[in-house]
Structure 1
Amino acid sequence: MPRPFKHPRTGVYWYRQRVPVFLITVAKGKRVTVTIDGRISTPKIGNELTVSLDTKDVAEAKRRANEAQAEFDRIWLSFEERPVSLTLRQAVALAGEFYHVMRKALEDDPGESAMWAQSAREWDAIEERKRASPYGALMIGRRSPEDRLGTWVDGALSEHHLVVDAASRQMLLEQFEKAARDLALLLEQRGGGDYGPDQNAARFPVFEAPLAAPPAEAVTAISFDQIINAEEERRVKGRDAKALPPATIRKFKFMAQQLASHRGEGGGDT
């Protein structure tokens, strides 16, 4: 296992691990979320993944290195597994995490963010004019949800070490869009001095991670002829070997052909 190392200039301990060779092409360049001792960092993966342990104490560094390794293991597993599909509830829950983080950061003093709802209404009006105009394709429109919210979706997936399929990502973008609109309306309300109950907060469930998809197993078709041939080879090996009689082999293969014909497969295949 890798060990923590001390930065030569600051004296702070760091931890690093080389990216598994079979993951380098999919993992390199990706930014991931690592939580150690309650502190969140978002390092980018290169040939190695490196994080600060944020301590100069060697004993504490060793303890935090164990946390780091557990985080690294989950990250490698997320790249190794097949993409998972999310339910609508899971997508709404992740959008809710985004909503609550942004609300906590902005609602006490919304400032310019209080204008987000008005800006959204203006963009909606522009999109409506585009749809109604024969020259709509030439008009400048709003950036796509992917352009506006893709980074937030990536952050949420990284936080939970998830890799999702294309349909789930599209669903996440839609739910993040709805959450962003709800947030904009709340901040508009807060900007007007109304700090009454947040009517939207209760609609977001707690996120429960999906079960990892089992790895796909390649299924190779095996013919009855192959089974018979393998048995024929096995019988002639070893001490006191006794080969299958040719007549027995012909009988087995004839039976296999009859069975395959009955199943409509032909050629003695399973």
Structure 2
Amino acid sequence: MPANLVAFMGGKREIKFSLGTSDPKLAEVIFREKNAEIERLWHEHLHGHQYAKLSQRQISALAGEFYQETIAAHRDNPGRAAEWDLELRRLREKKRRFLPIPPNFHLRMSFAKEADAFLERKGLRLSGQIQDLFIEEFVRAKVQAAEHIKKLAGGDWRPDPDAGRFAPSEALKSAGAVDAMDMFERYADEADLADKTRRSWRTKLKSLMEFVGHDDLAVSFH
């Protein structure tokens, strides 16, 4: 592993993971996918892209926003129930695993493009387990929305009784935050700063954060 990425990867100099299969061809496919994912993570780290750290509650709230947006787009003109029946069949078929790969890997392969497009509109980037958890909730919300729109298309205009299952949008107020001290510590590790220099800059950063009233680098300083 490149020396300038060791700190970013938690001090690890090697990355080991199970491919979850004994099939050589499938293992090769999974390896290429995993390798590309890791290289993308490294590239975006080195070029300043940050991944949001979301709680399960925030992930639910984010999926809820996707659900509400989908419903709003079709609420007045839901179309024909038969069309949504076909959409639900397509979604269920897309969720089915035809290869012996982990469920999260399958969902990522099948729905990551759609989920990432939604996240991009929200100004968010997710990775690893957080991305997998969101995609799982994203798919559930997508199916739930399609089921409700199908009812609307069939003439049942009652509200979705399960629409309130999502966490409230207020939970997302801190989504996408970039902790200033955490970023400094990462930089200090990579730059191998001396302890005296670290202590000095920590003090200055704390003073700055107290002055601006927050520690989020994603928020503009005014």
TM-score (norm 2): 0.49
Give the number of the structure whose alpha-carbon radius of gyration is greater.
Answer: 1
TM-score (norm 1): 0.41
Higher-strand-fraction structure = 1
Higher-helix-fraction structure = 2
Q: Select the structure with the greater relative contact order (CA < 8 A; seq sep ≥ 6).
A: 2
